Amino acid sequence: MDPNYDVICFSHLRWSFVFQRPQHLLSRCAREHRVYFVEEPIWVDGPNRLELTVSDEGVRVVVPHVSHAERDVEGVQAQMLKDLLQQEAITRFVLWFYTPMALPLAAELSPLAVVYDCMDQLAAFKNAPESLVERERELLRRADVVFTGGLSLYEEKKSQHDNIHAFPSSVDVQHFARARAPQPEPEDQQWIGRPRLGFFGVIDERMDLKLLEGVAATRRSWQLVMIGPVVKIDEAELPRAPNIHYLGGKSYAELPRYISGWDVALLPFARNESTRFISPTKTPEYLAAGLPVVSTSIRDVARPYEALGLVRIGDTVSEFVAACEVALSETSGARALSADRFLADLSWDKTWREMQLRVEHAIRKRLEGDPERALGRIATSQGAVETQNIAAGGR
């Protein structure tokens, strides 16, 4: 099959926000294809315009700037997209969705295939638009192939599509393995005492703040290092204590330096609707860094990580503290060997290759088996315009 096609991706996440699943996958895609990463609009006082920049990974980041006074927001974005296709001479392309809310923007486009990479149950997130559930149903009807970011999501969605595949979060082992060797201490962490128990990722409604507060109060000598942006919750809600340290967001490149100075890595997620289907990318990243990991009983962490003895689980403050104490006391040798055996079969390169094969199979199926569909548009119902403040989450 002719591999010369472009990829137009619609995402609820900003490319520059946190380097996670979309960035890992589409950076690899961009090595062979032109990738256009279409973000949610930025509201401006001036005229409507489309901003196009190229990331360090070679991904073309597309940001609609839409006037506050604009009434037909989706119509304006759809026209911007058609203009972009003309300006960039995009004729053969795959549509790749992370957000179902973008479906109407592509209503007049004729793709080679439609991909839905379902990385989260977005409808369960804070501020999710009311129409998201129906938009997702429609996207599942239109998609040629569906991927899920974890096993729980796959089990939830598998009856809704006949070409759906689970691709749990993978890992760049080499990148995080740098943390196993001594690294220069970052300035904002070097003054923090030991032992250090750390978390990196988005700090939002999925974080169990009461658990964090309880652990800090129960073990005042432990230093809890929290790395990541605070999103969708008021920073005033965060527990404050002398041994809790919020260091803000860090780049993907910086993470191994911070992790190398930790003694235990944490996954202190709340157990609620927003975490029911999450599959944290950071779990294998922590393991690649050589750290013991303690988590709450998130389903996609318990399977397979707890079952394989790679992660300890605790939900109450006392259980979580006990798990951390064991993690602090253990020697790293046997655990590191077990982790490395598990990680040996994981890589984002491998994940992308397998996903790419399924996308190209979907293209062939359209072109060979259903040529009318291959030339047809993605007709969608035009729902009410809603701001997409779904989630900045992930990782």
Give CATH for domain 173-343: 3.40.50.2000
pLDDT value at position 388? 40
pLDDT value at position 120? 87
Q: In terms of Cα–Cα distance, which of 94, 86, 82, 37 is closest to 63? A: 37
Domain map of the chain by residue range?
A: 6-170+347-375, 173-343
pLDDT value at position 15? 97
Q: Do the domains 173-343 and 6-170+347-375 match in fold?
A: yes
pLDDT value at position 81? 97
The Cα–Cα gap between 196 and 214 comes to 16
In the chain the first and final C-alpha atoms are separated, in Å, by 34
User: Is the separation of the CB atoms in 384 and 5 below 8 Å?
Assistant: no
pLDDT value at position 370? 59
Q: What contacts 24+ positions apart, CB below 8 Å, involve 138-144?
A: 138/100, 138/103, 138/380, 138/381, 139/97, 139/100, 139/103, 139/114, 140/116, 142/103, 142/114, 142/378, 142/380, 143/97, 143/114, 143/115, 143/116, 144/113, 144/114, 144/115, 144/362, 144/363, 144/365, 144/366
The Cα–Cα gap between 167 and 165 comes to 6
Spell out, as residue ranges, where the chain has pLDDT lower than 70.
1-3, 370-395
pLDDT value at position 390? 40
Q: What is the pLDDT of residues 249-276, one digit of tens each?
A: 999 999 999 999 999 999 999 998 889 9
Q: What is the pLDDT of residues 188-206, one digit of tens each?
A: 999 999 999 999 999 999 9
Fold of 6-170+347-375: Rossmann fold (3.40.50)
pLDDT value at position 380? 42
**What's the 3-state SS for 162-193?**
CCEEECCCCCCHHHHHHHHCCCCCCCCCCCCC
